[in-house]
């Protein structure tokens, strides 16, 4: 069976094409992404603007060309916070379903967290120590606590970077006062997480999706590159000192300067500073000891759910 999965995130629409192979596993045939910035200009007003609406439709059109080239048996599309929390999200979904004849599932924050965990556990080997998974999105951020025995706790917070960017409109470069305001706001919104971490004591952070992919790419570029086999791995340990240096550089950077940072995609130039502030806050607040980047997240979780239904 060959499937195409479209993860309709708030910042990017991601495509994964995979097929089943023996032993209840699957093989990834193709990956791609398209920038949409679905939340730009309207996320905190709970609306997809006409411009974002058009970018989203164009992104699906772009991905459908690849899907047709691979002759897939099934197309599965999931929409997350950038759609589920908006007044015209249903209208947006219906327009895409009618135009491209595909079905879109608007998933809840809980469902999103479960799929993220299902994706991450394919890339990262868990042990009996509790680990904290963080997926930083545009509309929401998902936190999951898990170990080798399974998922322990999960929650989706409406603290996505598109929301923070729209709410705080930070200076360019960001000021210390701006950083403090963002941190104070994050701190005030995460009590559920703090309570869970006090109970389960995770000391390892696993970061997935675009923000952590970017941290990995930027750090590798700064360090002069690494062997190709490591570069292609599905999990990458990020040295906390390397991350701290990168974070300080991002805080000092302007938008134009970030456009020239090796390893940073243009679609993340606007949001990477606030994403790094969020990550750094979590590392310091929770006394995180290790940081690992997972290349697998929600779309790989969905692939596993569809192609390997026994688990």
Q: Specify if 103 maps to a domain.
A: yes
Where is the domain boundary, 63, 80, 107? 107
Q: Specify if 114 maps to a domain.
A: no
pLDDT of residue 227: 62
**pLDDT less than 50: residues of the chain:** 310-311
Find the CATH number of the domain harbouring 190.
3.30.420.150
pLDDT of residue 223: 87
- Calculate ∠ Cα 11-13-15, nearest 5°: 145
Same domain, 103 and 131: no
| Mode of pairing for the β-strands spanning 74-79 and 25-35 | unpaired
Contacts 24+ apart (CB under 8 A), 53-57: 53/88, 53/92, 53/95, 56/8, 56/13, 56/92, 56/96, 57/95, 57/96, 57/99
Find the CATH number of the domain harbouring 98.
3.30.420.40
3-state secondary structure of 240: helix
Same domain, 227 and 254: yes
Q: Specify if 154 maps to a domain.
A: yes
- 155 neighbors 113 (Cβ within 8 angstroms): yes
Q: Which residue has the tokens 């495509």?
A: 15
Domains: count for the chain: 2
As separate numbers, helices (DSSP H) first and strands (DSSP E) second, the chain gives: 13, 11
Same domain, 169 and 99: no
pLDDT of residue 306: 87
Same domain, 137 and 50: no
Kind and range of the H or E run holding 219: helix 210-222
Q: Which residue has the tokens 């995770």?
A: 202
Same domain, 12 and 90: yes
**CA pair distance 288, 298, nearest whole angstrom:** 23
In this predicted model, what pLDDT tens digit does every residue of 230-285 receive, in sequence order?
667 899 999 999 999 999 999 999 999 999 999 999 999 999 999 999 999 999 99
pLDDT of residue 283: 98
- 247 neighbors 223 (Cβ within 8 angstroms): no
pLDDT of residue 151: 96
* Alpha carbon distance, N-terminus to C-terminus of the chain: 17
Domain assignment of residue 9, given as a range: 2-107
pLDDT of residue 311: 47
Kindly calculate the radius of gyration of the chain based on its CA atoms and give it in whole angstroms: 19
Kind and range of the H or E run holding 166: helix 161-168
Same domain, 76 and 172: no
Same domain, 36 and 99: yes
Q: Specify if 116 maps to a domain.
A: no
Closest CA to 55 of 34, 69, 76, 72: 34
- DSSP code, position 124: S
The distance between the two most distant Cα atoms of the chain, rounded to a whole number of Å, is 55
Q: Specify if 52 maps to a domain.
A: yes
């Amino acid at each position: 069976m060959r499937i195409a999965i479209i993860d309709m995130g708030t910042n990017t629409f991601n495509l994964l094409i995979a097929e089943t192979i023996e032993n209840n596993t699957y093989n990834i045939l193709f990956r791609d992404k398209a920038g949409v910035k679905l939340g730009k200009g309207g996320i905190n007003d709970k609306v997809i603007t006409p411009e974002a609406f058009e970018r989203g439709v164009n992104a699906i059109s772009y991905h459908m060309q690849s899907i047709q080239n691979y002759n897939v048996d099934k197309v599965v599309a999931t929409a997350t916070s950038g759609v589920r929390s908006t007044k015209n999200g249903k209208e947006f979904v219906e327009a895409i379903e009618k135009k491209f004849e595909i079905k879109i599932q608007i998933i809840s924050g809980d469902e999103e967290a479960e799929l993220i965990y299902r994706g991450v556990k394919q890339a990262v080997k868990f042990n009996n120590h509790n680990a904290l998974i963080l997926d930083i999105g545009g509309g929401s951020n998902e936190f999951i606590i898990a170990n080798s025995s399974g998922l322990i706790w999960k929650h989706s917070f409406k603290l996505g970077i598109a929301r923070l960017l729209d709410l705080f409109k930070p200076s360019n470069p960001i000021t210390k006062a701006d950083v403090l305001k963002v941190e104070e706001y994050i701190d005030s919104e995460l009590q559920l997480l703090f309570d869970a971490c006090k109970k389960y004591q995770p000391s390892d952070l696993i970061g997935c999706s675009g923000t952590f992919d970017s941290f990995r790419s930027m750090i590798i570029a700064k360090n002069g590159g690494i062997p190709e086999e490591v570069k292609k791995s599905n999990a990458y340990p990020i040295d906390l000192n390397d991350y701290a240096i990168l974070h300080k550089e991002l805080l000092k950077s302007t938008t134009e300067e970030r456009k020239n940072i090796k390893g940073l995609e243009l679609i993340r130039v606007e949001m990477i500073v606030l994403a790094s502030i969020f990550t750094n806050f979590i590392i310091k607040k929770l006394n995180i000891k290790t940081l690992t980047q997972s290349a697998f997240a929600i779309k790989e979780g969905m692939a596993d759910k569809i192609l390997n239904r026994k688990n």
